[in-house]
Amino acid sequence: MAFDFSYYSPTKVCFGRNTEEQVGKLIKEFGGTRVLVHYGSKSAVRSGLLEKVLGILDSEGIFHVELGGAVPNPRLSKVFEGVEIGKREKIDFILAIGGGSAIDSAKAMAYALAEPEEDLWELFLRRRKAKACLPIGAILTISAAGSETSASCVITNQETGEKRSCNSDIARPKFAIMNPELTMSLPDYQTQSGCADIMMHTMERYFTNGGNMEITDEIAEGLLRTVLKNAVILKDDPKNYEARAEVMWAGSLSHNNLTGCGNNGGDFMSHKLEHEMGGMFDVTHGAGLAAIWPSWARYVYKNCLPRFVKFALRVMEVQQGETDEETALRGIEAMEDFYRKIGMPTNMRELGIEPTDEEIEKMAESCIRACGKPSGSAMILDKEDMIKIYKMAK
């Protein structure tokens, strides 16, 4: 039975070749006059994209300042650096150039600048709710997080080792510029980590014991099959525009809540478990998800068996086993085979980390504290469950 839901996705998407040339007009459309341009690695400089964008802003007469240095698992310290610039320069719009790290940093800056008297980190600890946010725009260069159209923002506090999320519709970008050609220079590991992240955003909403809708399942399964196919194509042909386009659009659709319409909001425990890995070990998010998911799946599948069977047959397209349990396990194994095919890890050792029992205890304690209570939908997990999953994933 489908649950009631509200669906809100206000971001204006400009998709295709050379769409970055519309950035000046889009900023003006949404009221921007003094812009902080936040970007990630040196690739935005090396590719000439940053210079091109700044030239467009100059030609449109739009004031701008720049802040580079967004990194994977974006840092609270970098956010505060942007906030200081924003206050000094009276910024009224933030433009992110990059992937989820740059966009999430921009969202956090936008929260802080809109409510300068409030403690920003309190939002991420969920001790208060955001009441205001500066407008944000995004030029996407990495298909992964879906932050360009989502309400989500994830930041790492280096001082405490906590990686926490904040979700509010007021932080959804006003526009997202999506030119698949801008992702062609990515290293394969980043491309494939992004594909793993995209799939997990949909899988988190798929493996639930809440209500479901057939149309939502069809959308989710089609999205997952599309990424499965095109991730492999990009492994061998990284300049393939059509494959880049399919993956880029899937990234947005996977995390703007479309694939969760009618269910109970999703599980998201793989994400929460990975957040602790990212906070402690600074691992690449998509790769971390690939490393934890197989162990999570084997731990919970009996509690959510119909969904795992459906996934195995309709997404991984395995042969049906003699029992539902056999079919479900074949689906999990097929997913592991896919991860290996695209160079993703299937456990923490392959990810390059080997946490001690003490570190696992600390991650589980931090995770249950962040959840506030035992959490999940496929299966409700408490601290001891989390410890067992981490140990399975070693």
pTM check: above 0.75:
yes
Would you place residue 96 in the very low, low, confident or very high pLDDT band (cuts 50, 70, 90)? very high
- Identity of the amino acid at 325: E
What local confidence, expressed as pLDDT, does residue 194 receive? 98
Q: Residue 342 pLDDT more than 90? A: yes
Residue extents of the structural domains in the chain: 12-182, 188-392
The confidence score (pLDDT) of residue 40 equals 87
Query: Quick check: 65 pLDDT over 90?
Result: yes
Identify each DSSP E strand in the chain by its residue range.
Answer: 12-15, 34-39, 63-67, 93-98, 136-140, 152-157, 162-167, 175-178
What's the whole-number mean pLDDT along residues 111-139? 97
Average pLDDT value for residue range 372-390: 98
β-sheet bridge partners, residue 63: 34
Q: Are β-strands 162-167 and 152-157 bridged in parallel, bridged antiparallel, or unpaired?
A: antiparallel
Three-state secondary structure call for residue 222: helix
Q: What is the mean pLDDT of residues 69-84?
A: 96
Say if residue 6 is exposed, middle or buried (CB neighbours under 10 Å; 0-12, 13-18, 19+). exposed
Q: Supply the CATH classification number for the domain 188-392.
A: 1.20.1090.10
**Rounded distance between C-alpha atoms, residue 65 and residue 42, angstroms:** 17
* H runs (alpha helix) in the chain: 23-29, 43-46, 49-59, 76-89, 100-114, 120-124, 188-206, 214-236, 241-255, 269-281, 285-300, 305-314, 324-341, 348-351, 357-371, 383-392
The string of pLDDT tens digits covering residues 316-340 is 999 999 999 999 999 999 999 999 9
pLDDT band at 2; cut points 50, 70, 90: confident
CATH number for the region 12-182 comes to 3.40.50.1970
Q: Give the pairing of strands 12-15 and 136-140.
A: unpaired
